[in-house]
Amino acid sequence: MRFNGYHHVGLWVKDAQKSLDFYTQGLGGKMLFSFPLPGSDNPDKIIYLVDLGNNAVVEIIPRGNGEEEVNAHWAHVAIRTDDTQAAYDMAIKAGAVSRTEPTEAKLGTMSVCNAFVYGPDREIVEFFQIL
């Protein structure tokens, strides 16, 4: 198992379309993928992955069901890996607390295996493997 840098940084936003326009039209980023917000009752809640260049990817995440509408803030950091299970196991052994065990998912046209853990200060770290 090896890590291969960051995959993306997740950003919770109030208005996904406004943020998408800012990061694409305003900053010149390229939208890579989009897919419905998992678990949302609203089919209009879409997640966008925008590449700002050299794989500096921002994941624009609309607030889901019932979360407080607050100012945008970074949701998590996703670390690219070639083995999500091994990365997850390593983190748990190092003292991380599980948030989501490794799961394979189809996100739009992208197949991934990802897992989430809480770090020592409750920061959220995602291990992200493109299948």
Count of all residues that appear for the chain in the document: 131
pLDDT digits (tens, 9 = 90+) for 41-65: 888 889 999 998 887 898 988 876 5
pLDDT at 100: 97
Torsion of CA 15, 19, 25, 29, to 10 degrees: -150
What is the Cα–Cα distance from 15 to 82, expressed in whole angstroms?
A: 33
Ordered domains of the chain (ranges, CATH)? 3-130 (3.10.180.10)
pLDDT digits (tens, 9 = 90+) for 59-96: 988 876 555 656 667 778 888 889 999 999 989 988 88
Task: Name the DSSP letter for residue 26.
Answer: I
